[in-house]
């Protein structure tokens, strides 16, 4: 079990991609594993023939445990161990390889593998812009017909495919879907953070009946353990302020970004003024940080939730944050984050407002001391006061900024001051 980043202690084998007797090249993927941080692939450390799979699928072992053996002195032309001999057992790995090499010298085994590897047509290669557009719109490029040279997929091909309705816009936007008067028959959005909902039955049953049961996924188990541990460790309190985002909305009108990068940028700036919240608490020791390593919770739909970290977020502009958030979210959904990208945060923002909720009490991401929850932006009538002191009622895009914080590390006044500074920053955002 390889060391995947410093904080991972154990991992579970999810799938073996090779079986004993298969030939494997160095860096070829041999297995898929899952850790409490991340799902990833394991590459073979050496070229050879897979000798033995030691850890079964579903088994959890510590980092450093031997997962499988590869006979590195085998040659691709040799027969499979399984073909060469019945599993005698007790043979040492070197001996097994030697014996098989002695028994069969023809190319039988290997040619089969090679043929399987080479598909009828070569793998399609895509230009950078085509891959970027495909990633942004969740397009499976294999479905796109290419009109370029040799059937190459060109930019206009993937754009035309999207135009016709192919692909899907990923749920990145936190624009409020909150519709208080929506008729009951309207389509319901699936909340991002819920466990898989049961399929509605065709007719109402007289008594509650289970619609199905399944074991918790490894991801759900990990999330559950961490959330429970946080609630049992921290003295969690939640403070809420209300902010008027009309100036952010004006800025968004020109940039086209979601609210999130603006709130992230403002949070980072205010955290620099209130380092008590940009901190971790471990064993009676509070550590505050100069830089802000900003965690952004990314929903993986039914798969769960992951919190990639933007290191030194204070060095990024709104544009830079928008780009980074998008990149991390895409890679999170593509299972392409590295373990070190999901650790080491000093503050976290979670953003379930896209599902329509207007208020929540988030659970602190340990060992951090606070987590900010951004909720749906909703038009509300509010009283505003002009510079002469006259009050009037206006319709403004309002949101609640909900922050859970650890009473062991700080007091309510500090939390309120921080949130108020954040509110002021958002409400005085420069419009240019």
Partner 1 sequence: MTYLQAISDAMREEMRADERVFVMGEDIGTFGGAFKVTDGFIDEFGPLRVMDTPLAESGIVGTAIGAAVEGMRPIAEMQFSDFISCGFDQLVNVAGKMYYRQGLSVNITVRLPSGGGFSGGPFHSQNPEAWFMHSPGLKVVAPSTAEDAKGLLISAVRDPNPVVYMEHKHLYRRVKGDVDGGTYETPFTARLAREGEDLVVITYGAMVHTALEATEDLDGASVEVLDLRSLVPLDEEAILASVRKCSKVVIVDEANQTCAAGAQVAALIAERGWEDLDGPVVRVATPDVPIPFSPPLEQAVLPQVDDVREACRELLEY
Question: Which range, of 11-19, 62-70, 122-130, 176-184, touches partner 1 by CB under 8 A?
Answer: 122-130
Question: Which range, of 5-13, 124-132, 201-209, 299-307, touches partner 1 by CB under 8 A?
Answer: 124-132
The CA-based diameter of the chain, rounded to the nearest angstrom, is: 97
3-state SS track over 386-423 = CCCCCEEEEEEEEEEEEEEEECCCCCHHHHHHHHHHHH
Is residue 275 within the footprint of partner 1 (CB under 8 A)?
Answer: no
Output 128 or 256, the one with its CB closest to partner 1. 128
Output 7 or 127, the one with its CB closest to partner 1. 127
Output 152 or 331, the one with its CB closest to partner 1. 152
The residue whose two tokens read 């650890």 is 406
Report the nearest approach of partner 1 to the CB of residue 334 (Å): 16
CA-based angle 29:30:33, to the nearest 5? Answer: 95
Which residue from 124, 152, 220, 380 is in contact with partner 1, where contact means CB under 8 A?
A: 152
Is residue 91 within the footprint of partner 1 (CB under 8 A)?
Answer: no
Q: Which of 73, 290, 312, 411 is catalytic?
A: 411
Is residue 130 within the footprint of partner 1 (CB under 8 A)?
Answer: yes
Output 154 or 272, the one with its CB closest to partner 1. 154
Distance CA 207, CA 429 (A): 55
Question: Which range, of 150-158, 225-233, 235-243, 348-356, touches partner 1 by CB under 8 A?
Answer: 150-158
Question: Active-site residue 411, yes or no?
Answer: yes
Q: Which residues contact 274 (CB under 8 A, 6 or more apart)?
A: 414, 417, 418, 421
Is residue 154 within the footprint of partner 1 (CB under 8 A)?
Answer: yes
Question: Active-site residue 138, yes or no?
Answer: no
Q: Which residues contact 108 (CB under 8 A, 6 or more apart)?
A: 79, 83
Q: Which of 73, 290, 312, 407 is catalytic?
A: 407
What single DSSP character describes residue 46? S
Q: Give per-residue burial for 83-101: e unless 16+ CB within 10 Å, then b.
A: ebeeeeeebebeebbeebb
- Active-site amino acid positions: 407, 411
Q: What residues line the site for partner 1 (CB under 8 A)?
A: 127-130, 132, 148-149, 152, 154-155
């Amino acid at each position: 079990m390889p060391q995947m980043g410093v904080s991972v202690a154990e991992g579970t084998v999810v799938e073996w991609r090779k079986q004993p007797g298969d030939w494997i090249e160095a860096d070829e993927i041999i297995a898929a594993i899952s850790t409490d941080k991340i799902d990833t692939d394991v590459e073979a450390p050496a070229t050879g023939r897979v000798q033995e799979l030691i850890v079964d699928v579903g088994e959890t072992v510590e980092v450093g445990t031997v997962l499988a053996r590869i006979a590195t002195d085998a040659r691709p032309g040799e027969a499979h161990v399984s073909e060469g001999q019945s599993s005698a057992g007790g043979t040492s790995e070197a001996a097994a390889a030697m014996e098989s090499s002695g028994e069969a010298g023809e190319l039988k085994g290997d040619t089969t593998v090679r043929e399987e590897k080479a598909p009828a047509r070569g793998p399609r290669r895509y230009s950078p812009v085509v891959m970027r557009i495909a990633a942004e719109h969740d397009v499976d490029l294999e479905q796109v017909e290419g009109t370029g040279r040799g059937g190459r997929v060109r930019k206009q091909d993937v754009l035309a495919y999207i135009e016709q309705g192919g692909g899907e816009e990923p749920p990145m936007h936190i624009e409020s879907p909150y519709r208080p008067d929506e008729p009951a028959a309207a389509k319901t959005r699936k909340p991002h953070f819920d466990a898989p909902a049961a399929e509605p039955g065709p007719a109402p049953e007289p008594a509650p009946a289970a619609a199905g049961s399944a074991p918790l996924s490894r991801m759900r188990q990990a999330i559950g353990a961490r959330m429970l541990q946080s609630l049992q460790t921290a003295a969690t309190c939640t403070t809420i302020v209300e902010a008027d985002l009309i100036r952010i909305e004006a800025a968004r009108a020109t940039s086209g970004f979601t609210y999130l990068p603006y709130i992230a940028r403002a949070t980072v700036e205010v955290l620099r003024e209130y380092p008590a919240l940009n901190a971790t608490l471990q064993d009676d020791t509070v550590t505050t940080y100069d830089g802000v390593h900003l965690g952004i919770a990314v929903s993986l739909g039914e798969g769960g939730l992951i919190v990639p970290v933007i290191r030194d977020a204070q060095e990024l502009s709104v544009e830079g944050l928008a780009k980074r958030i998008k990149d991390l979210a895409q890679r999170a959904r593509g299972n392409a984050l590295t373990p070190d990208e999901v650790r080491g945060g000093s503050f976290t923002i979670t953003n379930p407002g896209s599902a329509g909720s207007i208020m929540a009490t988030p659970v602190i991401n340990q060992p951090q001391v606070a987590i900010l929850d951004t909720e749906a932006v909703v038009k509300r009538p509010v009283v505003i006061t002009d510079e002469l002191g006259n009050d009037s009622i206006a319709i403004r895009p309002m949101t609640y900024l909900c922050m859970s914080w650890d009473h062991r590390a700080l007091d309510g006044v500090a939390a309120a001051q921080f949130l108020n500074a954040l509110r002021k920053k958002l409400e005085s955002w420069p419009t240019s």
